[in-house]
Amino acid sequence: MTRSLNALAIVAGVGAVLLRNPLLALLALLLGLLAGITALWDRYALTNVTYQRQLSTTRLFVGEQADLVIEITNAKPLPLSWLKAEDEFPTQIDMARGRLFRTFRSDRQLLTNLLALRLYERVRKHYHLTAIKRGVLAFGPVLLRSGDLFGFRQQQRVDEQVDEMVVYPRVVPVSELALPASYPFGDLPTRRRLTDDPLRITGTRPYVPGDNPRFLHWKATARRGELQSKTFDPGASSRTAIFLDIQTVRGAPGMVEDYLEYAISTAASLARLLLDRREAVGLYANGWQRRTAQGVRLPPSRRPEQWEFILDALARLIDSPAGPLEQYLRGELPSLPYGASVIAITAVPAEPIYAALLDVRRGGHAVTLLTIGDERPADVPDGIPFVWLGGHDAYAQSPQRGIQPWAEHQRWAPRREAAAAPPADVSPFAPKPQGAGR
């Protein structure tokens, strides 16, 4: 189009000279100016144009709000008659002002801005976002388009910068999860030690590497012909390992979203309850974290940052089981702290999980099974204490906004906003189990 304008300007100019016509001369001048401006816009429209997002926070709980400022700058002496920005947003947020458009991808939507920019002008647009689902939310990339005033030519550019927001799961009172506040943990003893009470022996089990030699049971060892370790009343332990089952559909690929979110919310709520009781809490899950090939393995700890590690791991979990829960239970049994209690949360209770929990119990650990589903399981063995938490209806009736606003979380565990990686000795990243799935 620029070449056509140049050709017309030349023809008009030649005609003006030959015919001595001032109108043709004016037309030639206007066409030449139009061709020049069009060429400038065609070449430099998106030069020194920047698009930036500024989030008031990158850590939220479900139901909380954040402010978003979008800053668009034209840092050059050429004004833009129009600029269109199409910014990709996650579907897990809602926006009070502005309109979001659906895309061909079910998990993405577009925020569109159309504006004109003067030379060296900066425009800021303010939005209020509400987190409606747990997860790692990605904002971006953004597609920028601009060109000349008449639409003859246009440029486009994709800015690949992505801003992330981590939305933590709902943390609710344990009583809101159809689980009595005192169950399955019992009353909290007063200021007990973090070691097992040698006066509260409940039996013996085979010795495993790492057992305290002081707790070897020599009479049982002599009687059975192999090393035996003493087991103690789980009430003497202040350590709990939560095992979370990501699988929600039995024997087939797929996912029941309500079951998964209910299980994750339950794990977070129990962890908060126990940490408030000054107990050491660990988290294990048979699922992958978003955008990584890493699992979740947080050994029990009472350190202040443990709560944030647990929240961050739960926020990043995706619906992709890495292996059956029973495999994780048996795999972690040798490394569990001696006498630690084990809580398993699953939406697909079955005999293999029951057998693994009984093995864990025989290993000297108190076990509790929390089941999620529309039907109460009828085949749980008598030796496994369990609580049925309900299914879709129970999850729908639980508080949509938790009890853990981000400001309260910061007071509970004052740390910098950006989530830090756990130290090496409590790395949440377990190696991929042999024989695991995707």
- Per-residue pLDDT of 206-255, as tens digits, reads 887 767 787 888 889 999 999 998 876 544 448 999 999 999 998 767 88
CATH architecture of the domain with residue range 49-168: Sandwich (2.60)
Residue 366 in this model has a pLDDT that exceeds 80:
yes
Residue 385 in this model has a pLDDT that exceeds 70:
yes
Q: What's the maximum distance between 2 C-alpha atoms anywhere in the chain?
A: 123
Query: How is residue 105 written in tokens?
Result: 């991808």
pLDDT class for 58, splitting at 50, 70, 90? very high
Q: Rounded to whole angstroms, how far apart are CA atoms 256 and 318?
A: 12
**pTM of the prediction?**
0.75
Look at residue 433 in the predicted model and tell me its pLDDT.
37
Average pLDDT estimate for 46-70? 96
Residues 6+ apart with CB under 8 A from 344: 243, 245, 325, 329, 353, 357, 367, 368, 369, 370
Query: How is residue 146 written in tokens?
Result: 């601009």
Express each pLDDT in 321-348 by its tens digit: 989 999 999 999 999 988 899 999 999 9
Query: Picking from 151-165, 230-244, 281-295, which range would have the lowest pLDDT averaged per residue?
Result: 230-244
pLDDT class for 32, splitting at 50, 70, 90? low
pLDDT class for 180, splitting at 50, 70, 90? low
Q: Rounded to whole angstroms, how far apart are CA atoms 250 and 221?
A: 42
CATH number belonging to domain 174-197+233-426: 3.40.50
Express each pLDDT in 412-434 by its tens digit: 443 434 344 443 333 333 333 33
Query: Picking from 48-52, 198-202, 227-231, 265-269, which range would have the lowest pLDDT averaged per residue?
Result: 198-202
pLDDT class for 400, splitting at 50, 70, 90? low
User: Are 129 and 98 in contact, with CB atoms under 8 Å apart?
Assistant: no
User: Are 32 and 26 in contact, with CB atoms under 8 Å apart?
Assistant: no
User: Are 33 and 139 in contact, with CB atoms under 8 Å apart?
Assistant: no
Express each pLDDT in 182-193 by its tens digit: 455 433 333 333
Express each pLDDT in 126-153 by its tens digit: 999 999 999 999 999 999 999 877 777 7
Average pLDDT estimate for 28-52? 77
